[in-house]
Amino acid sequence: MNQNNETNPRKSPSLRRPLPREFYSLSPLVVAKDLIGKKLVRILESGDRLEGIIVETEAYGGSGDPASHAFRGQTPRNAVMFGEPGHVYVYFTYGSHHCLNLVTGRFRSELAGAVLVRALQPTKGINIMEELRGTKDVHKLANGPGKICQAMSVDLELNGCDAASRTSPIRMENQSIIPISTIRSSPRIGVTNGTDKIWRFYAKDSAFVSRRS
């Protein structure tokens, strides 16, 4: 049987087009909430297609957000955060993990903004993700920012690529399986500064988020 959506006539072409750059051009707070329920698509070099529904995100600002990498200004690592919305910001942290972000518009008059993708509900290429992650528990394949990158083979080579491009190895597609009314917010996880900001968003009924309330 043919599982390739490119040839599925029931899927409208508009669903196959990646989310446009305008989607990312708003404030990180808006984009973080809007990304819940969208489909993250990763095309591996092998041509294999991995997909997951975003169920958890966090917004990061610039000079006004002490939890943000951009707080102290531009550096080689965070340079992508200061660039055009819609591009992918990948960083390496804690000596062993990669994290995936999408560059957004700016909060107020700040110079940088991004959204961290924190958890996915895997929907396609699950067997490949299991292999990359070394576990068969589907709820633990991508329920954390480091796990997403391991499950989808995301590393610094993808830093700066354009998620709004039709041919990008990472892009976003429209999807609407998560009702807006079921999105909740909370303080961000793992941050020690800026804990006053309620900038984490998640699907309250999803079993795929990194933490349940």
Partner DNA sequence: CACTAGATTTTCT
Partner DNA sequence: GAAAATCTAGTGG
Q: Choose which of 37, 125, 144, 169 interacts with DNA (CB under 7 A).
A: 144
What percent of the residues of the chain are helix, what percent strand, and what percent coil, each to the nearest 5? Answer: 20, 25, 50
Kindly tell me which of 99 and 203 has the beta carbon lying closer to DNA: 99
Question: Is residue 96 helix, strand or coil?
Answer: coil
Instruction: Return the number of other C-beta atoms located less than 10 Å from residue 110's C-beta.
Output: 19
Contacts with 119 (C-beta within 8 Å, 6 or more apart), sequence order: 54, 55, 56, 142, 143, 144, 145, 148, 202, 206, 208, 209, 210
Query: Using the rule CB under 7 A, is 195 a contact of DNA?
Result: no
In the bound complex, what is the minimum distance in angstroms from residue 45's beta carbon to DNA? 22
Distance CA 148, CA 169 (A): 15
Q: Is 177 exposed, middle or buried (0-12, 13-18, 19+ CB in 10 A)?
A: exposed
Distance CA 19, CA 168 (A): 12
CA 106 to chain centre: 17
Kindly tell me which of 26 and 99 has the beta carbon lying closer to DNA: 99
Cβ atoms of 178 and 53 within 8 Å: the answer is: yes
Kindly tell me which of 15 and 189 has the beta carbon lying closer to DNA: 189
Q: Quick one: which segment of 65-73, 122-130, 169-177, 178-186 binds DNA (CB under 7 A)?
A: 65-73
Kindly tell me which of 112 and 178 has the beta carbon lying closer to DNA: 112
Q: Choose which of 39, 42, 69, 197 interacts with DNA (CB under 7 A).
A: 69
Q: Choose which of 19, 31, 70, 170 interacts with DNA (CB under 7 A).
A: 70
Query: Using the rule CB under 7 A, is 160 a contact of DNA?
Result: no
How many helices and strands in the chain, by DSSP H and E? 5, 8
Kindly tell me which of 3 and 163 has the beta carbon lying closer to DNA: 163
Q: Choose which of 12, 127, 181, 192 interacts with DNA (CB under 7 A).
A: 192
Kindly tell me which of 181 and 192 has the beta carbon lying closer to DNA: 192
Question: x/- contact string, 83-122, with DNA (CB under 7 A)?
Answer: ------x-xxxxxxx-x-x------------x-x------
Residues that bind DNA (CB under 7 A): 58, 60, 67-70, 72-73, 75-78, 81, 89, 91-97, 99, 101, 114, 116, 133-135, 140, 144-148, 188-193, 210
